[in-house]
Amino acid sequence: MADLSHEQSLEQQIDAWRDHLRRRRSVSAEDLERLERSLRGEFAGLVRLGLAADEAFLVAVKRVGRTSPPAEEFARARADQLLKPGYTSAASGWGEWMRQDGIRVLCLAVLAAAAVKAPALFGVSLQQHPDFYARNASLAVLPCAVAFFAWKRRTAPRTLGWLIAAFVAAAVFANLPGFGAAEAYASLTALHVPIALWLAVGIAHAGGQWSQTNGRMNFVRFSGELFIYYVLIALGGGVLCAFMALTFKSIGINVGPFFESWLLPCGAAGAVVVAAGLVEAKQGVMESLAPMLTRLFTPLFAAMLIAFLVALVWSGRGIAIERHHLIGFDLLLVVVLGLLVYSISARDPAAGPGLFDWVQVALLFGALAADAVALWAIGARIGEFGFSPNRVAALGENLILLVNLAWSAVLYLRFLLHRGSFANLERWQTSYLPVYAVWAGFVVVAFPPLFRWLG
């Protein structure tokens, strides 16, 4: 999105904002002057953080509007004006973020995960030395967040030197035998080191504005949003882990040790940096949260399904389809469809095929293969033990999902090969939704008398 044009300069925008408030008798001259100072300060701070002028003005107006109903009214009107069709979509916004910041964020997240696991190379395992990891976890993760903001804000070398010194000092005191490493102080060290070092993150985030109120307030907002994003990522990661454990357990593979030693510590560390990057992206992209998280978890679920299928073929084991496994597989396929639908809703239909579209197709084919395996196992179980309400319901649900996934894959491939439009995929998904409701109603209403009659 382009910056404000000459005809719509900042002063003209502020004049329109000021005229709107003047027409509201509830705003006194003193209040108007105070609000204008706040507006200009917020705008200047956001521009220094790297936002385009029109984006910075919109965010500043919304923030000032929190303290004044008339100003909030103007903010809503301004948002409606800017967020029209053609305004930066979620998909294009994500692509822009990936080009500008995303690769660095992901590399730093991997670095944070590697730093957390580095002590294990020297025989210091998480299971045997939990206190050591508790004391040093923030020392492995927070420098990566600082590095991101130092690059993003072009932190002055002198400031960067002080930040590095702070982390070095924290590392020393956290591990000295008479200080943090002492058993009596281990818990206090583990609790207070990250609190102290969070200030370093704040200084890097402020980008030279830490001494200003707006700079510190922006960091407070960042911290709150980071917490929300981290919790949501953790919940999504928990769902991913649950499905992974369920699917691998169905073929007799216990992934618990992998979770405990690798996935949980590395994921928890990397998610901090990813969440920080997403919060930063939200300020400049103005996109909703669900499509962003969809873009994050789609490749993870695709990789999980592919790994499961490879393990299934490699081990040669069959799936033990019990009731909870049936439910788990159906929920997994529903999640895949949810990822697909969210991606469709966030994508610009007029945009051409991209890399993420191929990731979506890989996810669809992985889900199709998993569904086919589940259907084969359900059929085998019905052949061995006969029909039951649970087995028939699972069979019907998997068939319905199979049809949806299969035709979605066909339509997506046609779009990628320039033989069909993306609108066809949108129409298919929205048209197929009633099928699920009809089947659910049939199970609730017809299954009890049907199986009593059969029994």
Task: Please state the φ and ψ torsions of residue 39, each to the nearest 5 degrees.
Answer: -65, -45
Question: Which residue matches tokens 């949806």?
Answer: 404
For residues 163 and 445, what is the distance between their CA atoms, to the nearest angstrom? 65
CA-CA-CA-CA dihedral for 427, 299, 306, 429, to nearest 10: -10
For residues 390 and 190, what is the distance between their CA atoms, to the nearest angstrom? 49
201, 159 contact by CB (below 8 A): no
- Which pLDDT belongs to residue 84? 41
Structure tokens at 415: 């779009």
**Alpha helix positions (H), 259-388:** 264-285, 289-315, 323-346, 355-385
For residues 97 and 282, what is the distance between their CA atoms, to the nearest angstrom? 10
For residues 198 and 195, what is the distance between their CA atoms, to the nearest angstrom? 5
Number of H helices, E strands in the chain: 17, 0
pTM of the model: 0.58
Query: How many Cβ atoms sit within 10 Å of the Cβ of residue 165?
Result: 11
For the chain, the domains span: 10-82, 90-284, 288-454
CA–CA distances in Å: residue 131 to residues 65, 137, 188, 346? 46, 10, 11, 43
- Which pLDDT belongs to residue 18? 75
Q: Could you write out the DSSP letters of every residue in 2-28?
A: PPPPSTT-HHHHHHHHHHHHHTSTTS-
pLDDT values of the chain reduced to their tens digit, one per residue, 455 residues: 344 443 356 777 777 777 777 666 556 777 777 778 888 887 887 777 666 677 777 777 777 766 666 666 666 655 544 444 444 444 455 566 666 677 888 899 999 999 998 888 887 777 777 788 888 888 899 999 999 998 888 888 898 999 999 999 888 888 888 676 767 677 777 878 888 888 888 889 888 777 776 677 678 778 877 887 888 888 888 888 888 888 888 777 888 888 888 888 888 899 999 999 888 876 544 445 556 667 777 888 888 888 888 887 787 665 555 656 666 677 777 778 777 776 776 666 666 787 888 888 888 888 888 888 878 877 777 777 777 777 777 788 888 888 988 998 899 999 888 888 887 887 787 777 778 777 777 776 677 777 767 76
230, 272 contact by CB (below 8 A): yes
